[in-house]
Every structure is written in structure tokens, then in C-alpha cells.
Structure 1
Amino acid sequence: MAIKYVKWLALCALAIFLSGCFDTTPTQTKIKLSGRTMGVDYHITYIDVAKNSEEIAKARQSAIDKLLKTVNEQMSTYDKTSELSRFNQSRSLEPFEVSPDTAKVVSESIRLAQLSEGKLDVTVGPLVNLWGFGPNMRVEKLPSSDELETAMNQVGIGKLTVDGNYLIKAIPELYVDLSTTAKGFGVDVVANYLDGEGVANYLVEIGGEARIKGRANEQRDWVIAIEKPVSSHRAIQEYISPRNNGLATAGDYRQYFEENGRRFSHIIDPDTGMPIDHKLVSVSVIHPSCMTADGLSTAIMLMGPEKGLEFARAQNLAAYLVTKTDSGFDTVYTDAFEQYLVKPVN
């Protein structure tokens, strides 16, 4: 069976970041840093007031790269020697010691799973791998019903617990995939580092997830454009200004495969074992924690347009949902999100 794969241009629906918002002055310099981490690009822009800002930037970039390397060594499923990979490979039911950071991300993932009534489930790894969206990134044929049943029996957030800095499996085959929260955590790690450096104005972005603080200059906030959910080209859906918050966007239009004209999304519903199949194509969430925004955006994507919007409103979340229609796209956002919209200037 031939399966057409469409190249994943990014880990999830991306936001496009605007540049050129600040002119260097004798007392303020706009510093831009970039690199690679977790299989995606990162971009950091911050305003510095030090006279030797360029020299300081080199040291900061080195420190940031080390921090992100550590996150990858802790939580990557692509690195077979990472903490998480070693936990997944283990068949022991005894407590498995991990770093405080990994324990923190798993604990938050469990909390969000409970909040979303199981829709966000980081134990869905066996299904993600079965559908070809895990580290092996390829399947030769669609999963059979027996394969789906076997994988479904290995999934369930109740099979994973955290006790201090220990992860505990209820079944030997349990496999944890933190792709829905770890990248957002990486953003938070960098933002917290810049906070510790006394940087008052910054924009940190890793693969489309972001955290913002302060302003781009004295006249304006940082402005971000949410990407229109189309796979053929890049276009802007909406301008927003998240202010001192994290931003994460989940979508099903960047990573998928097609078979006999049918599209299979990389977002797998733990309740069915199948890729999601509804009209909701993009969800953006603004939250003080980028890690939390990361998980919540995926949870709402899994719920679909009606239940997702109902959940976002019930939890008073700042959420922006894009739904595909026969004529294009419809957008809806919660009351909590409206304050972040950038109004057009007449």
C-alpha cells in the first residue's frame, strides 16, 4: 500500500513573528539569537541596555544552548539515551528516577490530562508510533484492528504516576511522549533564564511556541501573527499581542500523511486510537506558562470545535479556534482571548 507523506514543516501550527520593531539607539540594542533544538529552529529577540551587549549576547547564547540541550537530553523520544527514552525502554514497574524538570513536565501533563478528561494523554506514544509519527516516522501500511487494540491497551494516563522525582509505570509497555508539553517547557526555561539575567523585554520562540515579556519598543508591544492553517503556503490569520504570557498553537495541517485521498493527522485521539477527524484545524492558547499553553492547545484540538470551545470557556482560557468550512475558515475566540487581539489602525 503506497502512502504519501507530506513533509512536516514544523512541530505544530506555527506563529509567524514580526521583526524590525525596534531601532537601535545609543542606550538600547535589539539582540537576535537563533539556533536549533528539539528538531526545530529557535529565535530569541531581546532588548539590551548594556554597552557591551553584543559580547554579553554571545555568552547568553552559549548558556541558552546548554539549557536546551539539557531539556532534549531529559525529554526527547528521538534521543535513545534521554531520561524519557530510558524510562520508556525499561520494563520495570519499580520507581524510575528522573530530573526534577522531567518530573515537573510529567506532573503537569498528568494534571492537564485530568483537566481535559483524558483528551491530553502523554501515554499515547504507542499509538503515535503505530501511525508513523514517532521517532521511526514511517509506516508501510495502515494499522490493523488488532494492532490498534494492542496499542490501545498500552495507553492510559492512569497507568502513569509521579512520586517526587520518580516516574512509575503500571504496565511494562507504558511509553510516554512529551511532545505536547516539553517544547513549551523549553520556551519557559529560556524565558526564565532571561528573567534571571534581568532582561526586561524579550520574545522567545521555539518551533512556533513562544513567551513574551515587556515591549518591542517604547511605542508598541510585541506583535505576533497567528498563521493561517494551510499547508501549501504561509499566510497570516490574525495579529495578536500576548503581552507577558506564553503562546502555543496546535494544528493538524503541517504533519500528516495521505492514503487513497484521505488525510491522517499526527494528532491521535486516545479515546479511539485514530487520528482526529473533524473541522477544527488550529487552536492557539495564551497562558502565563508556555508549557501549559502547549498542552491545552493540543487538548482543545482533540476535543473538536464545539467541545473544545465549551471547555475553553468553562476554564476561562484565552483560546482562538480556527475551523475549516466549505468556503474557507471560520474563527472564534473566547472572551479571555479578545484582549490580546491587535485592532487594525484605520
Structure 2
Amino acid sequence: MPTTIKTGSAIRTLFLLFGAVVITTLVSGCTPAPQVWRLSGATMGTSYHITLVDVPATLDKTGLQQEIDAELVRVNQEMSTYIDDSELMRFNRGPVGEAVPVSAPLADVVALSLDIYQRSSGAFDITVGPLVNLWGFGPQPEPDQIPTAVEIETLLAQIGSDALTVERNPDRITRSRPVEIDLSAIAKGHGVDRVALLLEARGARNYLVEIGGELRSRGKNPQGLDWRIGIESPDPSGRVVQRPIAISGKSVATSGDYRNYYERDGVRYAHSIDPRTGRPLQHRLASVTVIADDCAEADGLATALNVLGAEAGLQLAERENLAVFMLVKTDKGFEERYSSAFAPYLEKSES
């Protein structure tokens, strides 16, 4: 955890690194600090970190931690592909061509996923799991040989979110063909939202919730200032802040391929699979950060824009007024690109 200290001052800046964002907190020795709780734990194959400021007097720290852990267990039990008897896995083994009753949270996340699928022209697809596994980025180990064109085309014919229909009141999902749903590209964001809503239901008004690098904030930090994060630069020498942004009241998610990849015969294969081609991404977009009201939407959109690439991704961002920041690989390093809706966050941070 890098720390910078200003000589002769009581103020220091701490950079807390989570995934591809860096959370910054200003600490002053001159101002009485409000009550601050920091909670953390394991979930979804990663970790969560929560900072709660001006804690309501009605809350008990141990009890709140237990509530948060229980809520995250529920999210996993609903949406994990690593829990054999999760609701999602039971659905994946269920009947085809029939409307299957599901919980409201599962219906919510699948409906949002289908919305992003349509908005991104198929770049975000929650049925892409078999192709991810084929390329060795799922539970299966990395392949000794890259998949053949026949293997890829065979799976491409089998996947597609167009096979899914969500009905509400009552909540039901139908598969028109035997596709399997994998929510790993959006479930962490949904988990962040669930924890944030739990905190608000318990009276919290100033908090930051982070799971595996995806986060949501509200109110003020321990110094009464807006929550700030630093977008991470894909620097091979270590985690370096590319841009600081103020994000109070918003959610942030980042997607990128610069850490998760393997090489075969001198060719680099990144973990993100384009569901339209069945192959790993080959463009020069290194990372994309999305700011939105809800973390689940930011999470899904970050993946969709990462698949689309810089040009098509920014076109979508401008068309839908999305706050998007991209780092694009060049021969000299990385180039910043961002949407019109993202510019105010940079200006606010620099003021």
C-alpha cells in the first residue's frame, strides 16, 4: 500500500489499492475525526472492503458485519457458478422451453444483462461461459493448444442471450435452447449494490463499499470530503495512479485484460472473450472504467465496452451519455480517452 507524506505537514495521502482502482483518503491530525468503521472479508473468490463514516448509534459493529456476510452468502447462493446447488446452477440444469420461477434478484440481474446485451449489440453475453472455458479462462486449465476454428464455431452456434426471456410478477426465466448463464461479469457489481442498500436500510449515509475492485459510495469520507479514487495505470512495474476522480454518490467498475492472459507460440491471449467471434480480444484497449448510479450496471457496461474496443465503445458511451474513461495501448505507452459525460469528474477532481 503506497503512502505519500508531505514533509512538515499533518496531512498524508493513503492509496488503497483494490483491483484497478485506488481509493484515496486524506488523513489530518488537526481535525477531530468522526467515528469510522472499516469492515472486510472474503466473498465471490475475492475480498470486500467497507468504510462507514458517522456510524449510526443504533448499529453494532459485530452484528453489522454478520449481516453483510449473510447478505453476500445470499448473493452467492443465488448467482454463483461455483456452488453446485446455487439457484443459478439449478436453473442451468433445469428444463428448456419452460418458464422457470426464480428469485427477484436473479431476475433483476438477468434482465439487466439482457438490456446491456441489446445496447452493446451482443458484446455483453452472459451465455459466453462455454467459450471462456474452451480458452482456459474458466475452471478448466489453460489448453496446451489454442482451440480450433471448428471447436469455436461449434460453441458459437450454441450460445447467445437471445435464447433468454425474463418475465416479471411472477419472476420467471425461459431458455429457448440449452444455453447456460454465467453472471461473473456482473455479479460483483450486484453484490456491491446489495451491501450498499443494506447499509442504507440501517441508517448509513456516508460509506464506500468495494468488492474485487468494483465500488459504490455515498456521502462524505472521514474528513467530510467527497470520496476519491485513482484510476490505475496498466504499468508493468507496479500499480500507479493514472487519474484521480471524485465519485461520491456514484458506482465505479473497471474492466481490462492487462493482468489476466497467457501466451502460446509468442501470441498473447487475453481472458476476455468476444462472444460475437468466440475469440480473445485483439484490440489495443487496455482498460475501461465506467461511472454509473448502480454498480451492477457499471460492471456489465465495463465488460461490454472492453469487448467493443475504444472506437465502438466510445461511440456507445456518447450515444447513451455514459461516463467512460479508457486507457488505450500505443507504441509509446498508454493514451487516455474519455466520454463527454466523464469530463466533469476529472474537472471536479482537479478543482
Report the TM-score when normalising by structure 1. Answer: 0.90
Residue in structure 1 matched with residue 278 of structure 2 by the alignment: 273
Identify which of 134, 138, 145 aligns with 1:141.
145
Q: Report deviation, 1:219.
A: 4.5
Residue in structure 2 matched with residue 179 of structure 1 by the alignment: 184
Deviations 1:277-305 (A, max 9, x none): 00111100100010001111111111111
- Match of 1:339, SS state, is helix
Residue in structure 2 matched with residue 237 of structure 1 by the alignment: 242
Residues 87 and 316 of structure 1, relative CA distance in 2, 3 Å threshold: same
**Residues of 2 paired with 1:230 and 1:93: CA distance?**
48
Q: Which runs of 5+ in 2 are unaligned?
A: 1-17
Identify which of 313, 318, 323 aligns with 1:313.
318
Please say if residues 246 and 349 of structure 2, whose CA atoms lie closer than 8 Å, have aligned partners that are also in contact: no
Relative contact order, higher structure (CA 8 A, sep 6+):
1
Residue in structure 2 matched with residue 285 of structure 1 by the alignment: 290
Identify which of 107, 114, 117 aligns with 1:110.
114
Residue in structure 1 matched with residue 13 of structure 2 by the alignment: none
Q: Report deviation, 1:226.
A: 0.9
Deviations 1:79-133 (A, max 9, x none): 2221112222335332222211011000000011111111111111111111111
Deviations 1:33-87 (A, max 9, x none): 001110011100011344586xx12111110001011111111112222111222
> Which stretch shows the higher mean deviation, 229-238 or 250-259?
229-238
Tell me the C-alpha RMSD between the 2 structures.
2.1
Residue in structure 2 matched with residue 31 of structure 1 by the alignment: 37
Residue in structure 2 matched with residue 101 of structure 1 by the alignment: 105
Work out the percentage of aligned pairs sharing the same amino acid. 44
Residues 150 and 232 of structure 1, relative CA distance in 2, 3 Å threshold: farther
- Match of 2:239, SS state, is coil
- Match of 1:253, SS state, is coil
Residues 183 and 49 of structure 1, relative CA distance in 2, 3 Å threshold: closer
Equivalent pairs counted in the alignment come to: 331
The residue type paired with residue 169 of structure 1 is R
Structure 2 residue 53 is the aligned partner of structure 1 residue 47: yes
Structure 2 residue 134 is the aligned partner of structure 1 residue 130: yes
- Match of 1:340, SS state, is helix
The residue type paired with residue 314 of structure 1 is R
Residues 161 and 26 of structure 1, relative CA distance in 2, 3 Å threshold: same
- Match of 1:119, SS state, is coil
- Match of 1:336, SS state, is coil
The residue type paired with residue 86 of structure 2 is S
Residues 23 and 44 of structure 1, relative CA distance in 2, 3 Å threshold: farther
The residue type paired with residue 156 of structure 2 is M
Deviations 1:142-197 (A, max 9, x none): 1111211111011111111112322211112x111111211100000001011111
Q: Which runs of 5+ in 1 are unaligned?
A: 1-11
Higher share of residues assigned strand: 2
Identify which of 53, 72, 75 aligns with 1:71.
75
Residues 192 and 21 of structure 1, relative CA distance in 2, 3 Å threshold: farther
Residues 328 and 30 of structure 1, relative CA distance in 2, 3 Å threshold: same
Please say if residues 27 and 49 of structure 1, whose CA atoms lie closer than 8 Å, have aligned partners that are also in contact: no
The within-5 A match list for 1:148-297 is 148-164=152-168, 165-172=171-178, 174-217=179-222, 219-297=224-302
Please say if residues 25 and 221 of structure 2, whose CA atoms lie closer than 8 Å, have aligned partners that are also in contact: no
Identify which of 324, 331, 337 aligns with 1:332.
337
> Which stretch shows the higher mean deviation, 95-104 or 22-31?
22-31
Residue in structure 2 matched with residue 9 of structure 1 by the alignment: none
**Residues of 1 paired with 2:84 and 2:235: CA distance?**
33
Residues 100 and 269 of structure 1, relative CA distance in 2, 3 Å threshold: same
Residue in structure 1 matched with residue 11 of structure 2 by the alignment: none
Q: Report deviation, 1:23.
A: 7.1
